[in-house]
């Protein structure tokens, strides 16, 4: 019979899931994990009794210790890899009307940052929180949390953009994801020129703020990330071209085929 469990707020839910999915092996990391969960519960203002919620996670951990990690739990899962300006976010947003739930790593980082002692409203705070989570739970933790959270919310189709490492790609594959490399053109020089043109155009971010990037910003970021992203793109199942003249519907068809 399925047991009833406490409905946790986002931050505590992520820590609870992390403990169940990627149980730290060393004593110091296990202590850090449970302390972070306890802090998240005590920072929450929803009225949940933190002692009861903590005990409930212990109960879930006991139930889950003999269970294997969930695999291939989605009808359709896509992970997109590509350089800046390839259109990953634009295409992912366009797939939402088809029932795809977006896995956004930054939302998870923002949720867990306060319990780890970092400011979720600053770039450095989010970077430090991400490093802290990976130190405690391992390099695949955000992929695991993203896919499991989507599953718990009843998602059947999911899409994730911008994995950071080959470990995250392998983790996504365990959940049944197809890895798609997105490019603006098959010719490398044309691809770079198109992406640069896209990136330097003023545009609004998801929170409504204006984002401007200069050519110098583009070149600097390209220099920092080129090798890493190229390595990840080599791990993809196939490459899809995202040209504006094709139309986003054609791009999505190629991704889904």
- Which of the four pLDDT bands, split at 50, 70 and 90, describes residue 51? confident
Residue 48: per-residue pLDDT: 85
Question: Which pLDDT does position 210 carry in this prediction?
Answer: 61
Residues 104-127 have a mean pLDDT of 92
57-96 pLDDT, tens digit per residue, is 888 777 766 566 666 788 899 999 999 999 999 999 999 9
Domain positions in the chain are 8-68+106-154, 76-99+156-256
Q: How would residue 153 be classed by pLDDT, with cut points 50, 70 and 90? A: confident
Identify the CATH assignment for 76-99+156-256 out of 3.30.420.40, 3.65.10.10, 3.40.50.300, 3.20.20.70.
3.40.50.300
Nearest one of 91, 83, 76 to 242, comparing CA atoms:
91
As given in the structure block, the two tokens for residue 60 are 């879930």
Mean pLDDT of the chain: 88
């Amino acid at each position: 019979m399925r047991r009833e469990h406490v409905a946790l707020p986002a931050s505590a839910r992520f820590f609870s899931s992390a403990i169940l999915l990627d149980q730290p092996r060393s004593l110091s990391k296990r202590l850090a994990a449970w302390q972070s969960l306890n802090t998240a519960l005590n920072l929450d203002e929803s009225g949940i009794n933190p002692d009861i919620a903590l005990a409930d996670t212990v109960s879930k951990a006991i139930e889950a210790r003999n269970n294997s990690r969930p695999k291939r739990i989605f009808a359709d899962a896509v992970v997109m890899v590509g350089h800046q300006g390839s259109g990953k976010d634009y295409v992912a947003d366009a797939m939402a009307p088809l029932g795809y739930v977006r896995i956004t790593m930054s939302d998870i980082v923002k949720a867990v940052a306060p319990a780890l002692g970092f400011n979720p409203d600053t770039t450095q705070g989010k970077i430090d929180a991400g490093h802290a989570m990976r130190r405690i739970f391992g390099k695949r933790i955000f992929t695991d949390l993203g896919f499991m959270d989507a599953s718990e919310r009843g998602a059947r189709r999911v899409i994730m953009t911008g994995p950071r490492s080959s470990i995250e790609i392998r983790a996504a594959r365990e959940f049944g994801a197809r890895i798609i490399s997105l490019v603006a053109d098959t010719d490398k020089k044309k691809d770079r020129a198109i992406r640069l043109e896209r990136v330097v155009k003023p545009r609004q971010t998801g929170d409504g703020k204006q984002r401007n990037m200069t050519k110098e910003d583009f070149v600097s970021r390209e220099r920092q990330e080129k090798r890493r992203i190229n390595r990840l793109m080599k791990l993809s199942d196939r490459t899809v071209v995202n040209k504006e003249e094709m139309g986003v519907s054609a791009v999505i068809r190629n991704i889904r085929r």
